[in-house]
Chains A and B, each alone.
Chain A
């Protein structure tokens, strides 16, 4: 149950695109198409942004997109907005009803 690996921080200017990577193993990210991404603003509970690698929950703008290649998943945020500044966590199903999270990435909008 080792945590997935994410960059500690990324940044971008308004209107630009940023990509956050999430690297796991064949036992989690690489083994299942069940990667999800969560946005967390300071002092708030996380919010689901992407599920099943690339699907959007209702209400999430399509500026957020997800993908996966091998053991690495990615979250891309296009047309950056000030309100996108937050912590982002990836999560993967790891078999036997268990989940594993990434260490989190702090997104700064310059």
Chain B
């Protein structure tokens, strides 16, 4: 059974940093591309970050580029999201998601972790 378990969310002040982790199981993690998707309270889904199988290729949405960094550790079956210079508008549930080959669609979602940016 595929499982994606996010952790690391919480309350942080504007300008602060947070690192999200996602532990994967139930599939060959090192064979799949991964992403992070977020959802602000009462709002829609927003794709924010992609990482290739080896971690050599990453992409970020314009809204987080330069502030967020996605990475992965295939030895630990984990993907991470380092979030710096956080803003109030970054408040959201952050989902770790597993992708199809070549990232054409998302085929499994974690349960999400809530990040709240507030003073």
* Residues of chain A whose beta carbon lies under 8 Å from any beta carbon of chain B: 1, 3, 32, 34, 36, 38, 45-48, 51-52, 57, 89, 91, 93, 96-104
Contacts and interface: CB of A to CB of B under 8 A. Distances in A.
Contacts of B62: 1
A99 B60 CA distance: 10
B47 A98 contact: yes
A99 B103 contact: yes
Nearest to A51: B105
Contacts, number: 71
- For the side of the interface on B, what is the size category? 20 to 34
A101 B47 contact: yes
B106 A99 contact: yes
Interface string B55-97: 0010101100000000000000000000000000000000100
Interface stretch (B8-16, B17-25, B109-117): B109-117
A97 B102 contact: yes
A101 B59 contact: no
B100 interface: yes
Contact of A98 (B52, B59, B105, B109): B59
B105 A52 contact: yes
B103 A93 contact: yes
B106 A36 contact: yes
Nearest to A46: B109
A76 B61 CA distance: 30
A1 to B, nearest CB: 6
B64 to A, nearest CB: 11
Given A1-B61, A89-B45, A47 B109 contact: yes
A13 to B, nearest CB: 26
24 contacts: A1-B62, A3-B44, A36-B106, A46-B45, A48-B105, A48-B108, A51-B100, A51-B105, A52-B104, A89-B45, A91-B105, A93-B104, A97-B33, A97-B50, A97-B59, A98-B47, A98-B61, A99-B35, A99-B50, A99-B103, A100-B47, A101-B45, A101-B46, A104-B45
